[in-house]
Amino acid sequence: MICKKYNSNFTPIDEKLFIGVSSNLELEPLNGLRHPKHEKMIGWYIWSGEWSDEDDFFKPLCLEHLIELKPEIIKYLGLDIGFRFLTDKKGYEDVWLDENIKELK
């Protein structure tokens, strides 16, 4: 449904791979972006609060555990490579295609 709403192809994810997440997912807003799959990483990077360029900002987390922590984001995980989302607990939602995210940098 989200894919159709935002004109994205549905791109399934391998549940055996990992998502990069920030250490604290309780801050707002909650952000996500999808790069191409890389090694054991699905390509999704999820963080809350402010972005950081620190090398250890993202930690690998099994998809299953992320869904336990943040079940509300499952609807975004089928969005295609290059899509981003921003959401908060008050119901704000923004989803867009970021043309700059076509390959890992």
The CA-CA-CA angle for residues 5, 78, 64, to 5°, reads 135
| pLDDT (mean) for 84-95 | 94
Q: What is the pLDDT of residues 8-49, one digit of tens each?
A: 999 988 888 899 999 888 899 999 999 988 888 889 999 998
pLDDT band at 98 (very low <50, low <70, confident <90, very high): very high
DSSP strands (E only) in the chain = 18-22, 30-34, 41-48, 58-62, 83-87, 93-97
Q: Where are the domains of the chain?
A: 2-97
pLDDT tens-digit series, residues 37-82: 888 888 999 999 888 888 889 999 998 888 888 999 999 999 999 9
Question: At 104, is the pLDDT very low, low, confident or very high (cuts 50, 70, 90)?
Answer: low
